[in-house]
Structure 1
Amino acid sequence: MVEPTVMRLLRRAVLATVICALSLPATSLAQKTARPVLLGKHWVAVTGKPQGATAGAMMFQQGGNAIDAAAAMLAVTSTMWDVLGWGGETQALIYNPHTGEVKGINALGVAPTGATPQFFREQGMLYPPEYGPLAAVTPGTPGGLMVMLAEYGRLSLKEVLAPAMEMARGYPIEETQARFIESRRDILAQWPDSRRVFLPHYDADQPEQRAAPAPGEIFRQPDLLATLEKLVAAEAAALAAGSDRKAAIMAAYERFYRGDIAAEIVRATREQGGLITAEDLASWKVIIEEPVSVNYRGIEVYKLTTWTQGPAMLQALNLLEGFDLKAMGYNSTRYIHTLYQAMNLAFADRDFYYGDPYVPPAEPVAGLLSKKYAEQRRALMPADRNLVDLKPGDPYPFQGGKNPFEALRQAWTPIPPAADAQGADSFQQAGIMTADEAFLAGTTSIQAADAEGWVISVTPSGGWIPAFVAGTTGVGLSQRMQSFVLDEALNPYNVVQPGQRPRVTLTPSLALKDGAPLLAFSVQGGDTQDQNLLQFFLNMVEFGMNVQQAAESHNILSYQMQSSFGAHQAEPGRLQVTPLVSPFTRAELSRMGYQVEVVERTYNPTTAIWFDREHGTMHGGASDYGDDYGIAW
Structure 2
Amino acid sequence: MKYFSTLILLVTCTLFSFAQQTQKPVLHGSNWMAITGKPLAATAGAMIFQNGGNAVDAACAMLAATCTMWDTLSWGGETQVLIYNPKTKKVIAINAMGFAPTGATADFFKNKGYDFPPEYGPLAATTPGTPGGLIYMLSNYGTMSLEQVLAPAMQLAAGYAIEAQAANIMERYKSQIREWPYSKKVFLPHAGEKREAPEGGEIFRQKDLLETLTKMVASEKIALKQGKSRKDALMAAYDRFYKGDIAQEFVRGCQEQGGLITMQDLAKWKPIEEATLKVNYKGVDVYKLQQWTQGPVMLQALNILENFDLKAMGYNSTKYIHTLYQAMNLAFADRDFYYGDPYVLPAEPINGLLSKEYAKQRASLIQYDKNDVNIGPGDPYAFEGKTNPYLSLLKKRGYEMDTTKRNFAPKHDMGNNTSSELYEDRLWRGTTSIEAADKEGWVVSITPSGGWLPACIAGNTGVGMSQRMQSFVLDSALNPFNVVAPGKRPRVTLSPSLAMKDGKPYLSSAVQGGDTQDQNLLQFFLNVTEFGMNVQQAAEAANINSNQLWLSLGGTKMSDREPKPGQILLHDSTPESVRNDLKRMGYTLSFDDRTSGPINAIYFDWKHGSLWGGSSNHGEDYGIGW
Common fold by TM > 0.5: yes
Partner of residue 559, structure 1: 547
- Structure 2 counterpart of 1:538, which letter? L
Partner of residue 88, structure 2: 99
Partner of residue 364, structure 2: 379
Partner of residue 65, structure 1: 54
Partner of residue 253, structure 2: 268
Partner of residue 594, structure 1: 587
Question: Equivalent residue of 1:214, what SS?
Answer: coil
Task: Choose the corresponding residue for 2:598, options 575, 588, 605.
Answer: 605
* CA positional deviation for 1:251: 1.0
Partner of residue 183, structure 2: 194
- Structure 2 counterpart of 1:318, which letter? N
Partner of residue 48, structure 1: 37
Partners of 2:8 and 2:188 lie apart in 1 by 60
Partners of 1:276 and 1:571 lie apart in 2 by 35
1:488/1:561 CA distance change after superposition, 3 Å? same
Partner of residue 454, structure 1: 442
Alignment of 1:522-533 (within 5 A): 522-533=510-521
Q: Is the CA contact 1:93–1:103 (under 8 Å) kept in the aligned structure 2?
A: yes
- What do the CA deviations read for 1:369-388 (whole angstroms, capped 9, x no partner)? 00000011111010110011
- What do the CA deviations read for 1:422-467 (whole angstroms, capped 9, x no partner)? xxxxxx9xx9x92211111121000000000000100000000011
- What do the CA deviations read for 1:185-230 (whole angstroms, capped 9, x no partner)? 0111011100001011112xx6xx1110111111000000000000
Q: Is the CA contact 1:415–1:569 (under 8 Å) kept in the aligned structure 2?
A: no
Q: Which structure: larger Rg? A: 1
Partner of residue 300, structure 2: 315
Question: Equivalent residue of 1:230, what SS?
Answer: helix
Whether 2:245 is the aligned partner of 1:257: answer no
Whether 2:134 is the aligned partner of 1:141: answer no
Partners of 2:97 and 2:186 lie apart in 1 by 25
RMSD value, Cα: 2.0
Whether 2:151 is the aligned partner of 1:162: answer yes
- Structure 2 counterpart of 1:53, which letter? A
Partner of residue 225, structure 2: 240
Question: Equivalent residue of 1:71, what SS?
Answer: helix
1:139/1:418 CA distance change after superposition, 3 Å? farther
1:306/1:93 CA distance change after superposition, 3 Å? same
* CA positional deviation for 1:563: 0.4
Partner of residue 618, structure 2: 625
Question: Equivalent residue of 1:434, what SS?
Answer: helix
Task: Choose the corresponding residue for 2:206, options 209, 221, 227.
Answer: 221
Whether 2:77 is the aligned partner of 1:88: answer yes
Q: Is the CA contact 2:539–2:599 (under 8 Å) kept in the aligned structure 1?
A: yes
Q: Is the CA contact 1:27–1:544 (under 8 Å) kept in the aligned structure 2?
A: no
Partners of 2:10 and 2:143 lie apart in 1 by 51
Question: Equivalent residue of 1:562, what SS?
Answer: coil
Partners of 2:452 and 2:165 lie apart in 1 by 13
Question: Equivalent residue of 1:51, what SS?
Answer: helix
Question: Equivalent residue of 1:30, what SS?
Answer: helix
Whether 2:313 is the aligned partner of 1:325: answer no
1:18/1:356 CA distance change after superposition, 3 Å? same
Q: Is the CA contact 1:386–1:592 (under 8 Å) kept in the aligned structure 2?
A: yes
1:15/1:292 CA distance change after superposition, 3 Å? closer
* CA positional deviation for 1:481: 0.3
Whether 2:292 is the aligned partner of 1:300: answer no
Alignment of 1:559-578 (within 5 A): 559-566=547-554, 567-578=560-571
Partners of 1:58 and 1:569 lie apart in 2 by 45
* CA positional deviation for 1:559: 0.6
* CA positional deviation for 1:23: 7.8
Q: Is the CA contact 1:291–1:302 (under 8 Å) kept in the aligned structure 2?
A: yes
1:256/1:333 CA distance change after superposition, 3 Å? same
Moved more, 402-411 or 114-123: 402-411
- Structure 1 counterpart of 2:624, which letter? I
- Structure 2 counterpart of 1:321, which letter? E
Question: Equivalent residue of 1:572, what SS?
Answer: coil
Whether 2:275 is the aligned partner of 1:282: answer no
* CA positional deviation for 1:27: 5.6
1:596/1:417 CA distance change after superposition, 3 Å? closer
Partner of residue 465, structure 2: 477
Partner of residue 180, structure 1: 169
Partner of residue 111, structure 1: 100
- Structure 1 counterpart of 2:93, which letter? G
- Structure 1 counterpart of 2:361, which letter? Q
Q: Is the CA contact 2:154–2:213 (under 8 Å) kept in the aligned structure 1?
A: yes
* CA positional deviation for 1:599: 1.8
Partners of 2:596 and 2:88 lie apart in 1 by 37
* CA positional deviation for 1:28: 3.6
Partner of residue 386, structure 2: 401
Moved more, 394-403 or 148-157: 394-403
- Structure 2 counterpart of 1:192, which letter? P
Q: Is the CA contact 2:278–2:285 (under 8 Å) kept in the aligned structure 1?
A: yes
Question: Equivalent residue of 2:561, what SS?
Answer: coil
Question: Equivalent residue of 2:264, what SS?
Answer: helix
Partner of residue 424, structure 1: none
What is the aligned length?
609
- What do the CA deviations read for 1:268-292 (whole angstroms, capped 9, x no partner)? 1111111000000000000000010
Question: Equivalent residue of 1:202, what SS?
Answer: coil
- Structure 2 counterpart of 1:363, which letter? E
- Structure 2 counterpart of 1:126, which letter? D
Structure 1: which 5+ residue stretches go unaligned?
A: 1-10, 421-427
Q: Is the CA contact 1:26–1:543 (under 8 Å) kept in the aligned structure 2?
A: no
- Structure 2 counterpart of 1:457, which letter? S
Whether 2:602 is the aligned partner of 1:614: answer no
Q: Is the CA contact 2:12–2:317 (under 8 Å) kept in the aligned structure 1?
A: no
Whether 2:107 is the aligned partner of 1:122: answer no
Structure 1 vs Structure 2: percent identity of aligned residues?
Answer: 61
* CA positional deviation for 1:554: 1.0
Q: Is the CA contact 2:545–2:595 (under 8 Å) kept in the aligned structure 1?
A: yes
